[in-house]
Amino acid sequence: MQLALLTTQNFQLLQRSPMSYNSSRRSTVHSTKGIVASTQPLASAAGAKVLELGGNSVDACVAVAACLCVLEPPSTGIGGDCFMLHYDNNSKKVIGLNGTGRSPANLSRTDIIAENESLGRPDAKRMSMGSVHSVTVPGAVAGWVDAVEKCGSGKVTLSQILQPAIDLCEKGHPISKISSILTLNCWKKLNAVNSPELLECFAPVSQPLAPPKDGELVVNKPLGRILRSVAENGKDAFYDGDVARGIIGEVQHRGGLLTLDDLKNHASTLVEPIHMDFLGGRIWEIPPNSQGLVVLLALGIIKELQKSGTIDLYAMKHNSAEYLHLLIEALKLAFYDVDEYVGDPEFGGDGNLISLWLSEYYLKKRAAMFDSHRVIDGSKTTHGVPDPNVNQSDTVYFTASDPEGNATSFINSVYTGFGSAIIPRTLGGFCLHNRGANFNLLEGSRNCLEGSKRPYHTIIPALITDPETNELIYTLGNMGGFMQPTGHVQHFLNLMLFKLSPQESLDSPRICLSPHPDHTHLDRGRGAGGPVSSPVTLVEVEEDMDPTVVEQLRHLGHAVKVVRAHDRSVFGRGQIIKKTSAGDGFIYSAGTDKRGDGIPIPLI
Residue ranges of the domains in the chain? 35-270+396-454+581-602, 273-388+469-573
How far apart CA 220 and CA 170 sit, in angstroms, is 6
**How far apart, in Å, are the Cα atoms of 509 and each of 345, 484, 537, 575?**
35, 15, 19, 15
CA atoms within 13 A on the CB side of 338: 32
Under 8 Å between Cβ of 430 and 71: no
| DSSP E strand boundaries for 81-153 | 81-88, 93-99
Contact between 51 and 61 under an 8 Å Cβ cutoff? The reply is: no
Q: What is the pLDDT of residues 86-99, one digit of tens each?
A: 999 999 999 999 99
SS3 assignment, position 173: strand
Q: Coil, helix or strand for 37? A: strand
Residues of the chain with pLDDT under 50: 1-22, 384-393
The closest of 485, 479, 542 to 38, measured between CA atoms, is 479
Q: How far apart are CA 256 and CA 259, in angstroms?
A: 9
Helical segments of 370-449, H only: none
Question: Which pTM was predicted?
Answer: 0.93
Beta strands in 10-141 (DSSP E): 29-31, 35-37, 81-88, 93-99
Q: What are phi and psi of 465, to 5 degrees?
A: -120, 170
Is the Cβ–Cβ distance between 48 and 36 less than 8 Å?
yes
The answer to whether 514 and 360 have CB atoms below 8 angstroms apart is no
pLDDT at 394: 66
